Amino acid sequence: MTRIDPDRAALQAEPDRVLIFDTTLRDGEQSPGATMTNAEKLEIAQMLDDMGVDIIEAGFPIASEGDFEAVKAIARASRNATICGLARANLADIDRCWEAVKHAESPRIHTFIGTSPLHRAIPDLTQDEMAERIHETVTHARNLCDNVQWSPMDATRTEWDYLRRVVEIAIRAGATTINIPDTVGYTAPVESADLIRRLIAEVEDADKVIFSTHCHNDLGMATANSLAAVAGGARQIECTVNGLGERAGNTALEEVVMALKVRNDIMPWRTHVDSRKIMNISRRVATVSGFSVQYNKAIVGKNAFAHESGIHQDGMLKNAETFEIMRPEDVGLTATNIVLGKHSGRAALRSKLKDLGYELAGNQLNDMFVRFKALADRKKEVFDDDLIALMRESEIEG
């Protein structure tokens, strides 16, 4: 009898569950300049494991001795997540990958080949030759490991008939997850949902596997495409912390996790990720990869929970839901950041001064407001120390 891999068992137990497959350490690290040391990779893997990520793609074991050792160390150390390694469609890659991931309690081999006309031209294989290669390599992987993921790279630019054919071959050869990569970020939400829906409807034995989505962000649609794929029936999202990844990056883990949490009313699927750990891992990945997070990045950007304008600050001070759809605590922040600058109003100034121990009203507040605005015109942001200095000045002169 065939054993059901633990990831599939998890989905069977909770039909509304979506598995989160993090590839920060593989696709994320492929971002030019984002190389991490093995110690850093192990640290990030432990954070991912601890926050409830279901599958961690720890690296590409045949790429280098260092990558092999990193995947092996992560496989040994992880307690909860399935540990996956990447392998091209050849036996040597797959064997090397298995040597690294087999140390995990729950290992997975992920093997792939480019199936679109442009990608088929690179190894110069005919459709039939490639189909034979897929059969041979997936069968080999499955003989080593119960949990095998197969990806037709550039699936979204592969002819439908050929895509269906090779997916069926991979399923017959024993793949347990079929991942559909939008390798160059070319698809759009409507198409992304339709493709998964059609695969599930038309591929033979589609119900025997998990369908997964892997999107790149070249047109800024990776998160939308991933969520659309879930609406179409995908039950695994591949993503990276901070959206790290080649070119414009991959789907951002924090975005899909928070979108499914905040809009569960219209997207009724759940992840097991503890969103309160998002900010910590975002900062750590930014530090070790050397890729800082843009200020206005959704969820984890410095300004994602910051307010400077008077109208927004006044609304926020009365009721945080006026201008925030998520609670800062839910992503691991302690509080909303009320930034004092030239757009800020009296309510925010009074509240900030109160936090600093000054209860002002009437003329005193008016006087401070004039001083504050004059300073804010000269300075982008007015900090606590600036306000304390202004208070002293006002007390001496007033």
Between CA 110 and CA 185 the distance in angstroms is 20
**Least separation in angstroms between CB 161 and Zn ion:** 24
* Contact of 294 with 34, CB cutoff 8 Å: no
Site size with Zn ion, rule: CB under 5 A: 1
> Tokens 């025997």 correspond to what residue?
208
Q: Is 27 annotated as a binding residue?
A: yes
**Least separation in angstroms between CB 41 and ligand KIV:** 17
Instruction: Note whether 182 binds Zn ion by CB under 5 A.
Output: no
| H-state helical runs in 263-345 | 278-289, 310-318
Eight-class DSSP state of 134: H
Between CA 357 and CA 362 the distance in angstroms is 17
Instruction: Note whether 59 binds ligand KIV by CB under 6 A.
Output: no
* Closer to ligand KIV by Cβ: residue 56 or 331: 56
Q: State which of residues 87, 153, 230, 375 lies at the interface with ligand KIV (CB under 6 A).
A: 153
Between CA 47 and CA 56 the distance in angstroms is 11
**Least separation in angstroms between CB 206 and Zn ion:** 23
Query: Footprint of ligand KIV on residues 205-234 (CB under 6 A)?
Result: 214, 216
* Closer to Zn ion by Cβ: residue 27 or 308: 27
* Closer to ligand KIV by Cβ: residue 5 or 27: 27
CA dihedral 382, 384, 390, 393 (to 10 degrees): -150
Task: Give the range of 19-27, 125-133, 279-287, 384-392 binding Zn ion by CB under 5 A.
Answer: 19-27
* Contact of 115 with 79, CB cutoff 8 Å: no
> Tokens 């936090």 correspond to what residue?
355
Q: Is 265 annotated as a binding residue?
A: no
Q: How far is CA 310 from the centre of its chain?
A: 33
Q: Is 272 annotated as a binding residue?
A: no
Q: State which of residues 85, 107, 181, 332 lies at the interface with ligand KIV (CB under 6 A).
A: 181
Q: How far is CA 57 from the centre of its chain?
A: 12
Query: Footprint of ligand KIV on residues 18-37 (CB under 6 A)?
Result: 27
Q: How far is CA 50 from the centre of its chain?
A: 15
Instruction: Note whether 154 binds Zn ion by CB under 5 A.
Output: no
* Contact of 237 with 213, CB cutoff 8 Å: yes
Q: Is 194 annotated as a binding residue?
A: no
Between CA 26 and CA 101 the distance in angstroms is 14
* Closer to ligand KIV by Cβ: residue 116 or 271: 116
**Least separation in angstroms between CB 114 and Zn ion:** 11
Burial (CB count <10 Å: 0-12, 13-18, 19+), residue 327: middle
Site size with ligand KIV, rule: CB under 6 A: 8
Q: State which of residues 111, 116, 151, 176 lies at the interface with ligand KIV (CB under 6 A).
A: 151
Query: Footprint of Zn ion on residues 27-86 (CB under 5 A)?
Result: 27
**Least separation in angstroms between CB 36 and ligand KIV:** 17
* Closer to ligand KIV by Cβ: residue 27 or 314: 27
- Tell me the sheet residues that pair with 148: 109
Residue 151, binding choice from ligand KIV, Zn ion, none, Cβ under 5 to 8 Å by partner class: ligand KIV
Query: Footprint of ligand KIV on residues 101-140 (CB under 6 A)?
Result: 112
Angle between helices 384-397 and 362-378 (to 10 degrees): 130
Residue nearest ligand KIV, Cβ-based: 181
How crowded is residue 242: how many other Cβ atoms within 10 Å of its Cβ?
28
- Written as six digits, the tokens of 338 are 């009320």
Which stretches of the chain bind Zn ion, using CB under 5 A? 27
Which stretches of the chain bind ligand KIV, using CB under 6 A? 27, 112, 151, 153, 181, 183, 214, 216
Binding residues for Mn(2+): 27, 214, 216, 250
